[in-house]
A and B are shown apart, each in its own frame.
Chain A
Amino acid sequence: MSMVRDLSLADVGQLKVDFAARRMPVLSALVERFSESKPFIGQRIAACLHVTTETANMCRALVAGGAELALCASNPLSTKDDVAATIQRDIGAEVFAIYGCDRETFYQQVQGVLAIRPTIVVDDGADLTTTIHNDYPQLLDEIIGGTEVTSTGVLRIRNMATDGALRYPVLPTNDAATKHLFDNRYGTGQNTIDGILRATNVLLAGSVFVVVGYGWCGRGVAMRARGMGAKVVVTEVDPIRALEAKLDGLDVMTMDQAAAVGDIFVTVTGNRDAITYAHLQQMKDGAVVCNSGHFDVEIAVSELQANATARRELRPNCVEYKLSNGRGVILLAEGRLVGQSAAEAHPAEVMDMTFATQALGVQYLIENAARLEPGIVPIPRSIENDVASAKLRAYGIQIDELSAGQQQYLTDWRVGT
């Protein structure tokens, strides 16, 4: 009853998944650990993720731990059909994912996944979570918990919790340092620069590079832009983040001010309208504008398109819009994630950390099911430490341990001046 393009693609897919596994030492170690301890016996997991080689390796870990697993695509355009085939045939999950399928098929796939009657929900973007709550409330009783991987998904689920709508405990994988440090900061930092270079081939050295939003992603983008020789400007709405940017040695100003001086703009706010049409009109001729936030709502793209006097595709993922003031604004990847659109998704080494955190999160939900309440569950420090230590081992790096005296010093409030 699965839905994949063609099972015979599995041979090719398997090679790719194995290759990715070599660059995912933390997750590979978990596969071994779980095949012995079998922590997921009796669990039915519904997962909605990008169907990629890295995801396949997490599926491997969950199945190795004894789970029954069903997987659909969080975005039909990121599905790799050969990988979907090997997850179905060799890893043994029920897969419902076909590259480029339409919306209707996509909802059939979600239905297919939910037919497993999940006890655990693994989500990316909160689509599965909201669908269950809105359309399949009868499933809620059997669900012991869920995980959510992105900032934007966590925000949606947090809003559900605030409204009292969330009916099971959710572990926000994104909140783990082992996720956002690697994925948001270093991963997005690199892939945003990579995407801009591939889309434009502009020289970053000496350019004025405006980072809109100085969160986990924004810090990474700013760090890499400076590393490529750009002069970085940050805009923020949060005073603490703005202060941090200032003390990191960057220029902080309002978007109105930045609009007039920037050569390149990247939005990473996770918010809408970070760059408005009014801002676009203030920009220099030839300014490059792009987004690395989850949704394509950060830049006033539709207003730009509606008001442009001319549109010219300069290169793939690189379109110039002429404004009525005679200046041109160059929009990359139509305002969608520039790293994912013009470069490649995160490398396996980054996803290694994210998915290992996620897999350990699933184990934690099961082990603590009896005491966890519906709502957002704080990430236990033990998971972060576990993942980080495994990564250090893979790098061959040793670190010091606290001595007994130090341990006591840090934990005993009586010790003082």
Chain B
Amino acid sequence: MSWLVSDPDEDLVQRGRAALALARSQMPLLDGIQREAAESRPLAGHRLVGCVHLTKETGVLVQLLVASGAEVAWTGGDEVSTQDEVAAALAVEGVRVFGRRGMTTAEVGEAAAEAFGAFSDGPTMILDNGAHLIEMAAASLDRHPQLRGATEKTSEGSRRVRELGATIDFPFPVVSVNDVVTKWEVDNTYGTGQSTLDGILRATGMFLAGKRFVVCGFGHVGRGVALRARGMGARVVVVCRSAKTAVRARLAGFEVLPLESAARTADIVCTATGRPDVVTAEHLDLLPSGAVLCNTGHSTAEINLADLQARTVSTEQVRPHVRRHRLDDGRYLDLLSGGGLVNLDAAEGNPSEVMDVTFANQALVTLGLGGRPDRYAAGVQDVDAAQDEDVARRKLAAMGVRFDGSDQPAGTTRGVGEDKSA
């Protein structure tokens, strides 16, 4: 059986087109890049396979790639996030789309494998989100001499790609588009910061002003969550492991505490570390009754659910995304979204204008690899500073913001390339 989307329902196609048009209206960067690339067609002759959540925003990215001359195969790489109407609209535009909303984890893998094998001559370029396709390529490099490049967008996937790069010599550039100021600031910090608070509000309807809000992790995402929780009037406590991060949090005016102390008075605990077992038995035993637990980090194991389950005598679904765990000592804890990503589950993930900036980075690297294969050396690479600067300028122009460097040509602003540690 194939997961290829074919002959989609006309009604579905229409809805997909409307959704894509709406997203495009809020994605001025991609729209602008597409207009430029439709003329120069730097991806002509390329066969491109992508594995990124198939939302309407991703759909706009796919349209850009097609307009740039590429043949495209796509899969969402996720059980539930595929928007079937977007898949349908892309399918009639000639994109080979694999998968649908509501698949098992095994089926997600099958669809990804099908997408990877969609072209008889194999893909020349990969766009990845979680390194699924790059792992497939790494396992079969000798059979894919036609590959010219790959990009990876997530922090977790970039970590994985670097691990792979330590043992394998990729004969083509594998570019991580995560460690770029315009990606982490806009997407991880401000996008996820907002959508996490949005998710907590939609899930619980709770009043945030005055609440003790504990953020575990003060990376790009944790910092965004802490800023926004403070902005909504919460009393924020930051928990982190690295001394450098703790200094940064303290000097930003946040209280820094070990989780063991913070847990005793917490009203809300939100994990944003990307690591498993941040909240475990010892902390669960200290939390006051009624505390809310949620996660916005990549790992769904940040809150140790087995430890929680071991103390639970019964559970009750009190609101759509809130499961109340009654514990054996009489307390109760409210777990949001089953410990999964609360911003994706209870809210809507990143707004279109955030994905616009993230995808602009990924699109520009891909177009660059198509037009000038020598721009990046073989092996695992970061996005170069000039592109980061270019994306930032495009974003400012879209917002109508002028700054002292507005009139100078790109690349001449002071500090270019120095700002990696922001």
Query: A residues near B, CB below 8 A?
Result: 19, 22, 186-187, 189-190, 193-194, 197-198, 201-206, 223-224, 226-229, 286, 314, 343-344, 346-347, 349-350, 395
Contact B232 A227 (CB under 8 A): yes
Q: A186: which of B197, B207, B347 is its contact (CB, 8 Å)? A: B207
Closest residue to A345 on the B side, CB-wise? B205
Contact A203 B191 (CB under 8 A): yes
At the interface with chain A, which of B8-16, B348-356, B411-419? B348-356
Within the assembled complex, what's the spacing in Å between the Cα atoms of A276 and B348?
Answer: 32
Contacts of B351 in A (CB 8 A): 201-203
Contact B202 A229 (CB under 8 A): no
Check: B406 CB closer than 8 A to any chain A CB.
no
Contacts of B190 in A (CB 8 A): 203, 205-206, 229
Known: A228-B194, A347-B206. A286 touches B399 (CB 8 A): no
Contact B231 A198 (CB under 8 A): no
Say whether chain B's binding surface is mostly helix, strand, loop, or mixed: helix
Within the assembled complex, what's the spacing in Å between the Cα atoms of A343 and B200?
Answer: 12
Within the assembled complex, what's the spacing in Å between the Cα atoms of A204 and B198?
Answer: 11
Contact B228 A229 (CB under 8 A): yes
A-B contacts, 26 listed (Cβ < 8 Å)? A19-B318, A186-B207, A189-B209, A189-B233, A190-B208, A190-B209, A198-B198, A201-B195, A201-B351, A202-B26, A203-B351, A203-B353, A203-B354, A205-B194, A223-B233, A224-B232, A227-B230, A227-B233, A228-B194, A229-B193, A229-B227, A229-B228, A229-B231, A347-B205, A349-B207, A350-B207
Contacts of A194 in B (CB 8 A): 198, 201-202
Contact B194 A204 (CB under 8 A): yes
Within the assembled complex, what's the spacing in Å between the Cα atoms of A205 and B357?
Answer: 14
**Nearest-CB distance from A259 to chain B (Å)?**
15
Known: A187-B207, A228-B231, A349-B207. A197 touches B26 (CB 8 A): no
Check: B210 CB closer than 8 A to any chain A CB.
yes
**Nearest-CB distance from A288 to chain B (Å)?**
11
**Nearest-CB distance from A86 to chain B (Å)?**
18
Q: A343: which of B201, B227, B290 is its contact (CB, 8 Å)? A: B201
Within the assembled complex, what's the spacing in Å between the Cα atoms of A206 and B25?
Answer: 18
**Nearest-CB distance from A285 to chain B (Å)?**
9
Check: B386 CB closer than 8 A to any chain A CB.
no
Contact B228 A190 (CB under 8 A): no
**Nearest-CB distance from B396 to chain A (Å)?**
10
Check: B22 CB closer than 8 A to any chain A CB.
yes
Contacts of B208 in A (CB 8 A): 190
Contacts of B233 in A (CB 8 A): 186, 189-190, 223-224, 227
Interface residues on B, range: 20 to 34
Contacts of B202 in A (CB 8 A): 194, 198, 343
Closest residue to B204 on the A side, CB-wise? A347
**Nearest-CB distance from A355 to chain B (Å)?**
15
Contact A227 B205 (CB under 8 A): no
Closest residue to B205 on the A side, CB-wise? A344
Q: Report B9-38 CB contacts with A as 1/0, cut-off 8 Å.
A: 000000000000010011000000000000
**Nearest-CB distance from A286 to chain B (Å)?**
7
Contacts of A314 in B (CB 8 A): 22
Which 9 A-B pairs give the minimum distances between C-beta atoms? A227-B231, A205-B190, A347-B207, A203-B351, A186-B209, A344-B205, A349-B207, A197-B198, A201-B348
7 additional contacts, CB 8 Å, given A198-B198, A202-B351?
Answer: A189-B209, A190-B233, A203-B191, A227-B228, A227-B232, A347-B206, A350-B207
Contact A224 B210 (CB under 8 A): no
Q: A197: which of B207, B210, B347 is its contact (CB, 8 Å)? A: B347
Contacts of B205 in A (CB 8 A): 343-344, 347
Q: Report B340-374 CB contacts with A as 1/0, cut-off 8 Å.
A: 00000001100111100000000000000000000
Closest residue to A197 on the B side, CB-wise? B198
**Nearest-CB distance from B242 to chain A (Å)?**
25
Within the assembled complex, what's the spacing in Å between the Cα atoms of A147 and B30?
Answer: 56
Contact B354 A224 (CB under 8 A): no
Q: Report B213-246 CB contacts with A as 1/0, cut-off 8 Å.
A: 0000000000000011011110000000000000
Contact A203 B207 (CB under 8 A): no
Contacts of B195 in A (CB 8 A): 201
Closest residue to B22 on the A side, CB-wise? A314
Contacts of B207 in A (CB 8 A): 186-187, 190, 346-347, 349-350
Within the assembled complex, what's the spacing in Å between the Cα atoms of A224 and B140?
Answer: 52
Contacts of B227 in A (CB 8 A): 229
**Nearest-CB distance from B401 to chain A (Å)?**
8
Within the assembled complex, what's the spacing in Å between the Cα atoms of A350 and B233?
Answer: 14
Q: Report B258-300 CB contacts with A as 1/0, cut-off 8 Å.
A: 0000000000000000000000000000000010000000000
**Nearest-CB distance from A395 to chain B (Å)?**
7
**Nearest-CB distance from A264 to chain B (Å)?**
12
Contacts of A347 in B (CB 8 A): 205-207
Contact B231 A226 (CB under 8 A): yes
Within the assembled complex, what's the spacing in Å between the Cα atoms of A205 and B224?
Answer: 11
Closest residue to A344 on the B side, CB-wise? B205
Contact B231 A224 (CB under 8 A): yes
Within the assembled complex, what's the spacing in Å between the Cα atoms of A346 and B201?
Answer: 12
Closest residue to B227 on the A side, CB-wise? A229
